[in-house]
Amino acid sequence: MSQPIRSILVPTDGSEGAEIGARRGVDLAASIGADLHVLSAVDIRETEPALSNLSADDKLEQEQLLEEQAERAVDTVVRLARSHISGRITTTVEQRTPVRAITDYADTHDIDLIVMGTHGRSDLEQVLLGSVAEKTLRTSSVPVVTVPPSADIEEVGEAVYDDILLPTDGSEGSEAAVELALAWADVYDATLHTLYSVDTSRFAGVDERSQIHDALEETGREALETVRERARESGVSVAGNIGNGPAARVIRSYSEEHDIDMVVMGTHGRSGVKRYLIGSVTETVVRTADIPICCVPMEEL
């Protein structure tokens, strides 16, 4: 099947979290033969309060130091990529807010995938999703792979994707996520696990709860069979499963039990908001993940 990823954007600020994301991005680009774009943004607005009392010359000097820091961050990724990437490597340093720089660059340069660490210089080193990664997920028009600190790899070429998980809720807008998951399973000769969660918790106390469970389970079987058919057409090995309980919890448990290497999921499900807000299930999965999560914007119907 055709490879939907021809160009990958790796944002970096030189922090350890960003470098973890960069190694994954370089690894993916090397594996699928994609062009690599490396971007660092100098956000002058963040430093304006500290610079406000400086003279014009001192302020200019500090701004130059920030730009040099961004250039070093880019150069670090380029040095890593040079011996692994067969495609083009393009670098950019911009004076803009990071999120706007990332999303605008992706749109204007026909980027197919953004790969970034979940935590940068200004982000909390906890289970909280870093602000830049979170805002990028909320506004990006292309898929974003978020890489948590626990998903670090020592060397490019060490990343393994033997088992890829595709959660599904049967919504028609998830087509893009299915396409990307199938393509990656094909590239890496991986098993594609597809998972539907039957969650009746919001119907607690309803007399017809058992009937609701059966109806949801039937919807799940139909959703899984749709993915199975697509996988068979693509020559991809597939395993379909139905879980019970809140979707985010089921996804995490399944990932741990089956040693999943990457999760590919839509940013919105049946209850998602069309723009600017990632779905609650996706957000919970990304915030608590210890493996890369590929978040695919849902197709508008």
**pLDDT at res. 202:** 64
295: three-class secondary structure by DSSP = strand
> Residue 140 and residue 149: Cα distance in Å, rounded?
22
How many other C-beta atoms can be found within 10 angstroms of the C-beta atom of residue 7?
19
* CATH class as words, domain 7-151: alpha beta
The one-letter amino acid code at 241 reads N
Domain 7-151 and domain 163-296, same fold? Reply is: yes
Reference 15, options 123, 144, 129; nearest CA is: 123
Would you write out the chain's pLDDT as a tens digit for each of its 301 residues?
566 899 999 999 998 989 999 999 999 999 999 999 999 998 766 555 555 566 666 667 777 888 899 999 999 999 999 989 888 999 999 988 899 999 999 999 999 999 999 865 444 443 344 588 888 988 899 999 999 999 999 889 889 999 999 998 877 667 789 999 999 999 999 999 999 988 766 655 555 667 877 788 888 899 899 999 999 999 999 999 998 888 899 999 999 999 999 999 988 644 444 433 446 788 889 888 999 999 998 765 4
User: What is the structure's pLDDT at 281?
Assistant: 84
Predicted pLDDT at 124: 40
Domain boundaries, the chain: 7-151, 163-296
CA distances from 126 to 161, 255, 287 (A): 26, 20, 9
HEC-encoded secondary structure of 154-188: CCCCCCCCCEEEEECCCCHHHHHHHHHHHHHHHHC
| Gap between the Cα atoms of 255 and 269, Å rounded | 19
Strand extents, DSSP E, the chain: 7-11, 35-41, 89-94, 113-117, 144-147, 163-167, 191-198, 238-244, 262-266, 293-296
In whole angstroms, give the CA distance from residue 112 to residue 141: 9
pLDDT score recorded for residue 273 = 43
| CATH number belonging to the domain at 163-296, selected among 3.40.50.620, 3.20.20.80, 3.90.245.10, 3.40.50.280 | 3.40.50.620
The predicted model scores a pTM of 0.87
